[in-house]
C-alpha cells in the first residue's frame, strides 16, 4: 500500500476533539474508540472535498473582516479603509526599519515569551539542512582550555580531600554525572577519584570509565582546573568501606543543589574524613545557582575533556561517511532519535493506536512494572488524553513521518535511526518507512564483524549512535531525555549551524486531532511552528538546562571584536584626570548626537577616576585613591556621585548605553600600591568570600611585585604575580567587577612598551574571553615599543599604543611616521586579536579645546596644531588604520573639528582599506613660497633662533620628569651618528625653533651622585633630548647607565613627552619618570636638521580599490601629469593618494605609475582612465596619466581620490589651473 502524507495524517487523527466518545475503561475500547480516528473519507486533494469546510480557516481573509465589520462591504467606505490600511502598513514598515537598524551588530538571539520562542527575522531563504547564517555566526564557544595558561590549582598537599561518585543510569546520564563531579570537586578544591560507572537496572551493562572514555585525555585536559586521580589513594586501605559504609557517604545532597550547599555541608565532612563518597549523585548540582565559571567548567568537561575512545570515534566517523555516500555522492543526512521502545511507551501512560490484544498486553505490562501508578487502570484514559494535549506523549513513527514531510523533507531523504526495539515492530514502523524508505540503522551500515567488538558493552553501541547523530546535518528528536538534550546542546555549542529539530508535540496533537484541517493548512502550521525549534541561539532563563542550552555560560558573541579600528572619545586630552560625572555626561550626550552617526561609539574615562581631587593629590601621589575592601579601585564619590553605595560606574555606564554609546575606562597595571600597603583581602569570585589557600587568607601584599612598579607612577601601581592563585583571583575579581558595571572598553596602562608585562596581559586576556560581557582590550605603553614586542601580545588584545602620548605639536606628528612605517611593514595592521582583530594605536587626536600635559586643570585652550597639520595627522591616522579617539572637549566641538573627524573619505580609508604601507617610490623638490597664515599654522617668520644659551653640567639620570614638557622643555630633533654633538629643536608652547646642537665633551658627562646642590634646581626643568628623534640616550630605571655607556652611544627609542626631562618636587626629591640626557645649556650653534622632505603611503580598498597616500614633508603644489591611465584591469574603482609635506617650505612630490605597479598587489595597470579630486578642498583634478605630481603646502597633505574605470584609454589633453595651491598639467 502506498502512503501519501495526507493518507497518513488521516490515519493519525487523534480523538482530542472527540474525547467524549471515550468510555471509562480503556479495556472496553476497540480500534473504533481509540484516541486515533481513521478517516474513511477519500483524500484525493488538499481542499478536503466531500467533507465540511474547516471552520472558517479556509475562508478568504476579507470575509472574516466583513463578518466582523459589515460596513466595509459598502463601496462608499472602501477608500477610507484603503487609506487606513496604507497608514497601518507605513507605520509597520517604519517600526520594522527602526528595529532592523537597532539590531545592527546585535548577535542573533531567540527569546521566550511564555512558551513561545521569538527569533530575529532573517532575509535569507529558509533551508532544510542549515540554520540561518546570522545565527551560526553570532555566537562562539568559550569553554575550551586556556592555551598556555598557568594552573591555579594549589599544591597537591593542599587538597581539601577526595571525593568519589557512582555515575548511575545510562551513558548520557553518566556523562552528566561526570561533568557535575568535576564541577563539585572544583567548588570544594577537592581531588576527584575517577568516577565509577554503575550498572544500570535497565541497561544491565557493567562498563568501566576506561572502557568508554579516553582517561588520559580526560585527566590531562582538566589538569589546570581539577586534580583527578585514577584510583583511591593507596594510604586508604579499606576500599570496601568507601563503597558500603554510611560513615563515608554523603547522602543528603538535594537535587539541583547550589554551590553553596557543598561548601557549607559537604566540604566540612570531606575535610574531616579526607575521602567521601557522594551518592546518590543524579542531578545533584543546579544551574543558575552556580557561579558561571563553574558552569563553564562543566561545558569544558562535556565538550572538550570527555572524549570517547579513539576506536569509537573512528567507527562513528566511518558510519557518518557511509551515510553521506549512500547514493554515490556526498549528501546531507538526517539522524532520528526515535524513542518508542516498549519501556518508554509503558512509562508514558499515553494511549496509542493498537488492537485490543496489544492494549491488554500493555496494560498488563504497566501493572507489573509500575503498580502504584497503574492502580486499577480506571483513571488512565483521561490521564492519557490530558498528557497528549500537553504534548507529553512520545511521537509515533507515523506521526514523525507526517511532520517531516510537512516540513518539506523529500522521500529520498537519508535518515539514520537511533533507537531501541520499536514497540509494535515492523507494523508500527511501516508508515515511517513507506514515506521515507531510506531508513538506516548502524546494524545496516556496518558489517557484523565491525560491530562485534563494540557489543561487549551496550554503552559503546550507544556511543556510536550518539556520535553519528551529533555529526548529522539535521537531528530530530521525538521525545525528551538526556540523549536528545546532550545532542542538541553539543550542536549549539559547535555553532548552531546544524539543525536540531524539537517537534512541538502539543501543537501537533491538536492538529492531528482536528478532522477538518486540510493538508496545505497543516503543512503551513508545521513549517511556521518549527521555524524557531531548530537549535537556534536561545536566551537562557531561570532553571535553564545547561546541557540543552549552553549559550550563556559557555558561549560569547562571535562577532569579531574590533573588526575595524575602534572610534570614540577619550577624556584625557581635555580633562587629564580631573573630569567629573557631570562633565563626562555632558560630553557623552553631545558625542551621541554629533559623532556616533560617524562610528565614534566608545566614551572613555581616562586615568585616575578613583583619585580624590584634593590638595596634595597629583599623578604619583600616594594615599589619595578610593579602593574597596578587596583592594579594587572604585570611582571617587565626590567627582562621581552616582558611584556611592557600591554602585561603581554602573549608573554612568547605563546612561552611556541609553545614548547608544559604549562605555570605557582607563586602568593601570596590576594592583594599587595603596591596597598592597593596606594588605586588603582578595575576593574569590567562586565563593564570594576572601580567597583562601594553604589554610589562610591571602592579601594584596602577597601578590604585589614591588620590584615591578609602574615606571612613571612608582607610588601608584605594581604588577601582580599571576603565578599565584591569589594573583589570578584578584585580576578575575577586578575584571568581573568592570563587566558588572557595564564596561565595554578597557585601556590598560603601564603593561606595554618598556613596562611590558606579558603574564598579566595574557591572564587578563583569558579573563576577557570568559566574561559574559564583551570588552574591548586596549594597551597603553611605557616608552619603547617595537613590532617584535607587539607580536608577543597583539593576539591577546584589540588595540595597543605604539608611541608615547601624542600632544598638539608638529614634532609629535612627525614622530609617528617612522613607527607607523615599521608596524605596517611587520603586517601588524588588523592582525588577529582578542576574539577579533588588533590595531596599532597612534594615540588620541589632540584636536579642538584641550588642556595641558600633566595639568590639574580642565580644558582651557585651542589645539596648537594648525588646520593643515590637523589634516596631516587625521590622514596619517587613517592611512595607518589607527583607532580614532578624539581628545578635545565635546562641549566646544566646532565645525572645523567636526569636518576633520567626520570626513567620509577619511573614515572609509580608516575602516575598510587594506595592504596599508609606506610607499617609497617618490621624488620631491622643495621651493620657498609665501604661505597665507589663514589657519593658524606656525609660519617661518614665527620661528626664532636661540643664540645665548650656555651649558655646564650634563647628567645621565635614572628617573626624572617635568611638569609641562611642551611648554618649557626642549625636544630632540636629530642625533648625529658620530655622537660628537646632539641636535635639538626648542619647543616653547608649540613655538617651533630652528635646530641647534650642544657640543658634547668629556667634562659634560657625569652621573646622578655628582648632583650635590639640589636647591638651585628646585622647580626647574633642565633636560635636553626628547621626542623628535627615533633614538635617545637610554636611561631606563631598569638599567642605570654610566658615562661609558653614553660615550659609546647606548641608544633606545625616545618618548615624546616630559619623560626625557626632569624636575624636583617641592621637597627636593626627583619626580619619578624615565630620563635621558639632562643638561643646562652653555653654548649653541645652528645646525641644519636632517629630515625627509616627503613621505607617502599606499593601500588598497576592500572592493579591489587602491588607496594611495603621499605626504608632502616640505609643503608642495601638486601637478598631475596626464598621459596614460593609472587604472587597472584587476582593480577598478577608487584609488586614494595622499602626499604629506613634513617641512616648512612647499614641496612638489611625484609618483610614477610604473612604481605604483611595483607596490600594489596586481599584475599590471590596465590602460583605462582615472579622474581625480582632492578630498580636503574638493578640487577637481581632471584625468590622470603616467605620473602623479602635486605641490603641497608646508606641513600639509593632499589627499586625492582617483576614480578609475575599465574603459579604454581616452586621448585627453587639457590643463586646468585651480584656485589656491593645486594645479594640473598636461605633459603629453
pLDDT category at 1008 given cuts 50, 70, 90 is: very low
762 alpha carbon, distance to own chain's centre: 16
Both 488 and 596 in one domain: the answer is no
Per-residue confidence (pLDDT) for residue 1167, from 0 to 100: 53
A 10 A CB-CB count for 928 gives 12
Q: Smallest Cα–Cα separation from 629: which of 674, 668, 686?
A: 674
Top mean pLDDT of 347-351, 648-652, 994-998 is at 648-652
CATH code: domain of residue 228: 3.40.50
- Eight-state DSSP code of residue 1073: S
Q: Report if residue 576 sits inside a domain.
A: yes
Three cell numbers written together for 564: 575595524
- Eight-state DSSP code of residue 724: S
pLDDT category at 76 given cuts 50, 70, 90 is: very low
Both 286 and 402 in one domain: the answer is no
Per-residue confidence (pLDDT) for residue 889, from 0 to 100: 97
Q: Whole-angstrom Cα distance, residue 1017 to residue 1063?
A: 7
Three cell numbers written together for 115: 512558551
Both 927 and 995 in one domain: the answer is no
- Eight-state DSSP code of residue 264: I
Q: Report if residue 100 sits inside a domain.
A: no
- Eight-state DSSP code of residue 1008: G
Q: Whole-angstrom Cα distance, residue 72 to residue 81?
A: 7
* More confident position, 838 or 943: 838
Mean of per-residue pLDDT scores for the chain? 75
Q: Smallest Cα–Cα separation from 1132: which of 1176, 1162, 1173?
A: 1162
Q: Which residue has the cell 608646508?
A: 1194
Q: Smallest Cα–Cα separation from 1177: which of 1105, 1107, 1117?
A: 1117
Both 336 and 406 in one domain: the answer is yes
pLDDT category at 97 given cuts 50, 70, 90 is: low
Q: Is the distance from CB of 431 to CB of 3 less than 8 angstroms?
A: yes
Both 430 and 344 in one domain: the answer is yes
Q: Which helix (H) or strand (E) holds 469?
A: helix 458-470
Both 1105 and 1072 in one domain: the answer is no
Per-residue confidence (pLDDT) for residue 1118, from 0 to 100: 31
What's the structural domain count of the chain?
Answer: 5
Q: Is the distance from CB of 590 to CB of 733 less than 8 angstroms?
A: no
- pLDDT tens digit string along 281-293? 999 999 888 888 8
* 742 phi and psi angles, rounded to 5 deg: 100, 25
Q: Whole-angstrom Cα distance, residue 196 to residue 206?
A: 10
For the chain, percent of residues with pLDDT exceeding 70: 69
- On the question of pLDDT at 978 being above 70, the answer is no
Q: Is the distance from CB of 828 to CB of 849 less than 8 angstroms?
A: no
- Domain range holding 434? 311-545
Q: Around 1131, how many Cα atoms within 13 Å sit in the side-chain half-sphere?
A: 25
- pLDDT tens digit string along 549-600? 998 788 877 667 888 999 999 999 999 999 999 999 999 999 999 999 899 9
- pLDDT tens digit string along 133-150? 667 767 878 888 764 444
Q: Smallest Cα–Cα separation from 1134: which of 1100, 1180, 1159, 1160?
A: 1100
- Which pairing describes strands 1116-1121 and 1106-1111: parallel, antiparallel, or unpaired? unpaired
Q: Residue 924 burial (CB < 10 Å; 0-12/13-18/19+)?
A: buried
pLDDT category at 1215 given cuts 50, 70, 90 is: very low
Q: Is the distance from CB of 804 to CB of 1057 less than 8 angstroms?
A: yes
Q: Smallest Cα–Cα separation from 609: which of 738, 779, 728?
A: 738
Strand order in the sheet with 415-418: 439-440, 415-418, 334-337, 474-477, 499-501
Both 478 and 515 in one domain: the answer is yes
Both 738 and 601 in one domain: the answer is yes
Both 1196 and 1060 in one domain: the answer is no
Both 1011 and 1116 in one domain: the answer is no
- For 489-510, b/e burial (b = at least 16 CB within 10 A) is bbbbbebbbbbbbbbbbebbbb
Question: What would you measure as the largest C-alpha separation in the chain, in angstroms?
Answer: 121
Q: Whole-angstrom Cα distance, residue 911 to residue 562?
A: 10
pLDDT category at 793 given cuts 50, 70, 90 is: very high
Q: Whole-angstrom Cα distance, residue 829 to residue 841?
A: 10
| Least confident span in 85-94, 213-222, 504-513, 969-978 | 969-978
Per-residue confidence (pLDDT) for residue 31, from 0 to 100: 34
Q: Is the distance from CB of 1179 to CB of 1150 less than 8 angstroms?
A: no
- On the question of pLDDT at 85 being above 60, the answer is yes
Per-residue confidence (pLDDT) for residue 660, from 0 to 100: 85
Any residues with CB less than 8 A from the CB of 844 and at least 6 apart, and which? 570, 572, 573, 806, 885, 886, 887
- Angle at which helix 519-530 crosses helix 397-407, to 10 degrees, equals 80
Residue 499: strand, helix, or coil: strand
Q: Is the distance from CB of 1204 to CB of 1170 less than 8 angstroms?
A: yes
* More confident position, 234 or 1156: 234
Q: Which of 277, 307, 337 is the last residue of a domain?
A: 307
Q: Whole-angstrom Cα distance, residue 834 to residue 591?
A: 27
Q: Report if residue 105 sits inside a domain.
A: no
- On the question of pLDDT at 279 being above 60, the answer is yes
Q: Which residue has the cell 585613591?
A: 625
Q: Report if residue 916 sits inside a domain.
A: no
Q: Is the peptide bond before 280 cis (omega within 30 degrees of 0)?
A: yes
Rounded mean pLDDT of 374-392?
Answer: 77
Per-residue confidence (pLDDT) for residue 46, from 0 to 100: 37
Length of the chain: 1228
- Eight-state DSSP code of residue 303: I
pLDDT category at 619 given cuts 50, 70, 90 is: confident
Q: Report if residue 165 sits inside a domain.
A: yes
Q: Whole-angstrom Cα distance, residue 726 to residue 720?
A: 9
Q: Which of 266, 281, 307 is the last residue of a domain?
A: 307
Any residues with CB less than 8 A from the CB of 267 and at least 6 apart, and which? 160, 188, 190
Q: Smallest Cα–Cα separation from 636: which of 696, 578, 549?
A: 578
Q: Whole-angstrom Cα distance, residue 1049 to residue 139?
A: 53
Residue spans of beta strands (DSSP E) within 49-153:
111-113, 116-118, 139-141
Q: Whole-angstrom Cα distance, residue 806 to residue 118?
A: 49
Q: Is the distance from CB of 192 to CB of 229 less than 8 angstroms?
A: yes
Beta bridge partners of 36: 14
pLDDT category at 1066 given cuts 50, 70, 90 is: low
Q: Report if residue 101 sits inside a domain.
A: no
A 10 A CB-CB count for 663 gives 26
Q: Smallest Cα–Cα separation from 873: which of 926, 943, 808?
A: 808
* DSSP secondary structure letters along 923-948: EEEEE-------S----GGG------
Cα–Cα separations (whole angstroms), residue 114 to 117, 187, 541: 8, 33, 11
Residue 526: strand, helix, or coil: helix
Q: Report if residue 64 sits inside a domain.
A: no
Q: Which of 278, 307, 336 is the last residue of a domain?
A: 307
Both 375 and 492 in one domain: the answer is yes
Q: Whole-angstrom Cα distance, residue 1009 to residue 832?
A: 47
Per-residue confidence (pLDDT) for residue 1218, from 0 to 100: 26
Q: Whole-angstrom Cα distance, residue 772 to residue 774?
A: 7
Q: Is the distance from CB of 320 to CB of 468 less than 8 angstroms?
A: yes
Three cell numbers written together for 161: 580531600
Q: Report if residue 72 sits inside a domain.
A: no
Q: Is the distance from CB of 119 to CB of 536 less than 8 angstroms?
A: yes
Per-residue confidence (pLDDT) for residue 38, from 0 to 100: 33
> Model pTM?
0.52
- Eight-state DSSP code of residue 253: P
A 10 A CB-CB count for 1200 gives 26
pLDDT category at 690 given cuts 50, 70, 90 is: very high
- Eight-state DSSP code of residue 265: I
Both 796 and 659 in one domain: the answer is yes
Q: Whole-angstrom Cα distance, residue 1143 to residue 872?
A: 12
Q: Is the distance from CB of 915 to CB of 830 less than 8 angstroms?
A: no
Q: Whole-angstrom Cα distance, residue 490 to residue 949?
A: 75
Q: Whole-angstrom Cα distance, residue 1081 to residue 1079?
A: 6
Q: Is the distance from CB of 632 to CB of 678 less than 8 angstroms?
A: no
Q: Whole-angstrom Cα distance, residue 870 to residue 1196?
A: 8
- Which pairing describes strands 439-440 and 474-477: parallel, antiparallel, or unpaired? unpaired
* DSSP secondary structure letters along 609-666: TTB--STT--TT-SS-B-B-TTS-B---TTT-GGGTTTTTTHHHHHHHHHTT-EEEEE
Per-residue confidence (pLDDT) for residue 1026, from 0 to 100: 32
Amino acid at each position: 500500500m502506498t502512503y501519501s502524507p495526507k493518507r497518513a495524517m488521516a490515519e493519525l487523527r487523534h480523538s482530542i476533539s472527540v474525547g467524549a466518545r471515550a468510555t471509562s475503561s480503556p479495556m472496553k475500547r476497540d480500534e473504533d474508540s481509540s484516541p486515533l480516528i481513521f478517516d474513511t473519507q477519500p483524500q484525493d486533494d488538499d481542499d478536503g472535498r466531500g467533507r465540511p469546510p474547516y471552520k472558517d480557516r479556509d475562508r478568504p481573509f476579507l470575509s472574516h473582516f466583513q463578518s466582523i465589520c459589515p460596513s466595509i462591504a459598502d463601496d462608499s467606505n472602501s477608500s477610507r479603509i484603503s487609506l487606513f490600511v496604507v497608514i497601518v502598513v507605513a507605520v509597520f514598515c517604519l517600526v520594522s526599519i527602526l528595529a532592523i537598524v537597532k539590531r545592527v551588530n546585535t548577535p542573533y538571539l531567540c527569546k521566550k515569551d511564555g512558551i513561545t520562542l521569538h527569533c530575529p527575522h532573517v532575509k535569507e531563504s529558509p533551508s532544510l539542512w542549515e540554520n540561518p547564517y546570522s545565527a551560526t555566526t553570532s555566537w562562539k564557544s568559550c569553554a575550551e582550555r586556556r592555551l598556555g595558561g598557568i594552573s591555579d590549582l594549589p599544591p597537591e598537599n593542599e587538597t581539601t580531600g577526595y571525593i568519589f561518585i557512582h555515575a548511575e543510569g545510562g551513558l548520557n546520564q553518566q556523562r552528566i554525572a561526570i561533568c557535575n563531579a568535576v564541577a563539585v570537586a572544583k567548588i570544594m578544591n577537592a581531588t576527584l577519584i575517577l568516577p565509577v560507572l554503575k550498572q544500570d537496572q535497565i541497561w544491565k551493562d557493567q562498563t568501566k570509565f576506561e572502557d568508554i572514555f579516553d582517561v588520559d585525555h580526560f585527566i590531562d585536559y582538566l589538569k589546570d582546573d581539577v586534580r583527578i586521580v585514577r584510583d583511591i589513594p593507596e594510604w586508604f586501605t579499606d576500599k570496601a568501606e568507601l563503597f558500603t559504609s554510611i560513615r563515608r557517604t554523603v547522602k543528603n545532597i538535594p537535587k539541583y543543589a547550589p554551590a553553596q550547599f557543598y561548601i557549607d555541608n559537604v566540604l566540612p565532612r570531606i575535610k574531616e574524613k579526607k575521602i567521601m563518597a557522594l551518592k546518590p549523585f543524579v542531578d545533584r548540582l543546579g544551574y543558575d545557582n552556580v557561579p558561571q565559571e563553574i558552569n563553564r567548567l562543566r561545558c569544558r568537561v562535556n565538550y572538550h575533556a570527555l572524549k570517547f575512545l579513539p576506536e569509537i570515534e573512528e567507527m562513528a566517523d566511518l558510519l557518518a561517511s557511509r551515510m553521506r555516500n549512500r547514493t554515490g555522492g556526498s549528501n546531507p543526512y538526517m539522524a532520528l532519535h526515535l524513542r518508542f521502545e516498549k519501556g518508554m511507551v509503558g512509562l508514558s501512560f499515553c494511549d496509542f493506536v493498537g488492537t485490543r490484544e496489544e492494549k491488554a498486553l500493555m496494560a498488563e505490562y504497566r501493572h507489573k512494572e509500575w503498580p502504584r501508578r497503574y492502580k486499577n487502570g480506571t483513571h488512565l484514559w483521561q490521564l492519557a488524553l490530558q498528557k497528549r494535549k500537553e504534548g507529553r506523549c512520545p511521537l509515533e513513527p507515523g506521526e514523525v513521518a507526517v511532520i517531516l514531510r510537512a516540513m518539506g523533507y523529500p522521500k529520498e531523504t537519508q535518515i539514520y535511526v537511533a533507537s531501541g526495539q520499536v514497540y509494535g515492530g515492523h507494523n508500527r514502523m511501516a508508515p515511517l518507512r513507506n514515506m521515507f524508505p531510506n531508513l538506516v540503522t548502524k546494524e545496516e551500515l556496518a558489517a557484523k564483524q565491525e560491530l562485534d567488538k563494540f557489543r561487549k558493552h551496550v554503552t559503546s553501541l550507544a556511543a556510536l549512535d550518539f556520535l553519528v547523530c551529533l555529526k548529522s546535518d539535521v537531528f530530530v528528536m521525538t521525545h525528551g531525555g538526556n540523549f536528545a538534550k546532550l545532542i542538541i546542546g553539543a550542536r549549539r555549542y559547535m555553532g548552531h549551524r546544524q539543525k536540531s529539530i524539537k517537534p512541538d508535540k502539543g501543537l501537533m496533537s491538536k492538529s492531528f486531532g482536528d478532522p477538518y484541517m486540510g493538508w496545505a493548512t497543516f503543512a503551513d502550521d508545521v513549517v511556521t511552528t518549527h521555524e524557531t525549534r531548530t537549535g537556534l541561539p536561545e536566551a537562557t532563563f531561570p532553571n535553564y538546562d545547561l546541557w540543552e542550552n549552553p549559550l550563556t555560560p559557555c558561549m560569547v558573541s562571535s562577532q569579531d571584536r574590533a573588526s575595524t579600528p575602534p572610534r570614540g572619545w577619550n577624556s584625557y586630552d581635555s580633562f587629564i584626570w580631573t573630569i567629573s560625572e557631570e562633565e563626562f555626561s555632558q560630553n557623552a550626550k553631545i558625542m551621541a548626537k554629533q559623532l556616533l552617526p560617524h562610528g565614534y561609539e566608545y566614551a572613555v574615562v581616562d586615568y585616575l577616576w578613583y583619585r580624590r581631587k584634593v590638595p596634595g593629590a597629583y599623578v604619583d601621589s600616594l594615599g589619595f585613591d578610593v579602593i574597596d575592601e578587596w583592594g579594587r579601585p572604585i570611582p571617587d564619590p565626590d567627582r562621581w556621585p552616582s558611584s556611592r553605595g557600591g554602585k561603581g560606574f554602573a549608573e554612568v555606564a547605563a546612561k552611556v548605553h541609553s545614548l547608544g554609546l559604549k562605555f570605557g575606562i582607563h586602568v593601570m597595571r596590576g594592583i594599587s600600591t595603596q591596597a598592597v600597603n593596606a594588605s586588603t583581602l582578595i575576593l574569590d569570585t567562586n565563593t564570594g568570600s576572601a580567597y583562601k589557600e594553604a589554610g589562610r587568607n591571602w592579601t594584596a601584599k602577597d601578590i604585589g611585585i614591588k620590584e615591578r612598579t609602574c615606571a612613571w607612577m612608582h607610588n601608584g601601581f605594581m604588577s601582580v604575580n599571576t603565578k599565584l592563585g591569589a594573583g589570578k583571583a584578584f585580576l578575575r575579581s577586578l575584571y568581573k567587577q568592570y563587566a558588572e558595571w557595564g564596561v565595554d572598553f578597557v585601556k590598560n596602562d603601564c603593561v606595554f612598551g618598556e613596562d611590558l608585562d606579558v603574564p598579566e596581559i595574557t591572564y587578563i586576556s583569558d579573563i576577557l574571553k570568559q566574561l559574559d560581557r564583551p570588552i574591548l582590550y586596549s594597551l597603553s605603553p611605557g616608552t619603547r615599543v617595537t613590532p617584535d614586542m607587539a607580536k608577543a601580545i597583539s593576539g591577546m588584545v584589540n588595540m595597543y599604543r605604539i608611541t608615547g602620548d601624542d600632544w598638539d605639536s608638529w614634532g609629535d606628528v612627525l614622530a609617528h611616521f617612522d613607527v607607523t612605517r615599521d608596524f605596517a611593514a611587520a603586517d601588524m595592521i588588523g592582525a588577529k586579536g582578542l576574539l577579533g582583530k588588533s590595531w596599532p594605536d597612534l594615540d588620541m587626536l589632540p584636536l579642538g579645546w584641550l588642556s595641558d600635559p600633566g595639568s590639574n586643570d580642565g580644558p582651557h585652550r585651542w589645539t596648537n596644531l594648525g588646520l593643515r597639520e590637523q589634516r596631516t595627522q587625521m590622514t596619517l591616522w587613517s592611512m595607518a588604520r589607527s583607532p580614532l579617539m578624539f581628545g578635545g572637549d565635546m562641549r566646544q566641538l566646532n565645525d572645523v573639528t567636526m569636518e576633520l573627524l567626520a570626513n567620509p573619505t577619511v573614515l572609509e580609508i580608516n575602516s575598510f582599506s587594506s595592504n596599508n604601507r609606506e610607499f617609497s617610490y617618490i621624488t620631491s623638490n622643495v621651493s620657498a613660497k609665501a604661505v597665507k597664515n589663514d589657519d593658524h599654522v606656525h609660519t617661518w617668520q614665527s620661528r626664532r633662533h636661540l643664540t645665548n644659551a650656555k651649558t655646564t653640567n650634563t647628567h645621565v639620570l635614572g628617573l626624572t620628569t617635568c611638569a609641562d614638557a611642551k611648554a618649557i622643555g626642549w625636544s630632540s630633533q636629530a642625533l648625529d651618528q658620530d655622537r660628537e654633538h646632539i641636535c635639538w629643536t626648542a619647543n616653547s608652547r608649540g613655538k617651533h625653533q630652528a635646530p641647534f646642537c650642544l657640543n658634547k665633551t668629556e667634562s659634560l658627562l657625569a652621573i646622578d651622585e655628582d648632583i650635590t646642590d639640589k636647591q638651585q634646581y628646585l622647580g626647574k626643568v633642565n633636560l635636553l633630548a626628547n621626542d623628535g628623534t627615533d633614538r635617545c640616550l637610554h636611561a631606563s630605571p631598569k638599567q642605570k647607565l654610566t658615562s661609558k655607556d653614553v660615550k659609546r652611544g647606548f641608544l633606545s627609542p625616545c618618548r615624546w613627552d616630559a619623560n626625557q626631562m626632569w624636575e624636583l618636587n617641592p621637597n627636593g626629591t626627583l619626580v619619578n619618570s624615565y630620563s635621558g640626557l639632562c643638561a643646562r645649556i652653555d653654548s649653541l650653534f645652528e645646525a641644519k636638521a636632517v629630515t625627509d622632505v616627503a613621505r607617502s603611503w599606499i593601500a588598497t580598498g576592500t572592493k579591489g580599490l587602491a588607496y594611495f597616500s603621499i605626504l608632502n614633508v616640505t609643503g608642495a603644489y601638486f601637478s598631475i601629469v596626464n598621459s596614460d591611465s593609472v587604472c587597472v584591469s584587476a582593480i577598478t574603482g577608487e584609488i586614494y593618494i595622499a602626499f604629506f609635506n613634513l617641512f616648512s617650505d612647499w614641496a612638489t612630490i611625484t609618483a610614477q605609475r610604473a612604481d605604483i605597479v611595483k607596490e600594489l598587489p596586481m599584475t599590471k595597470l590596465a590602460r583605462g582612465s582615472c579622474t581625480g579630486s582632492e578630498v580636503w578642498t574638493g578640487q577637481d583634478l581632471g584625468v590622470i596619466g603616467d605620473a602623479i605630481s602635486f605641490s603641497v603646502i608646508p606641513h600639509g597633505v593632499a589627499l586625492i581620490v582617483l576614480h578609475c574605470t575599465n574603459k579604454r584609454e581616452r586621448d585627453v589633453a587639457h590643463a586646468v589651473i585651480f584656485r589656491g595651491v593645486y594645479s594640473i598639467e598636461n605633459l603629453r
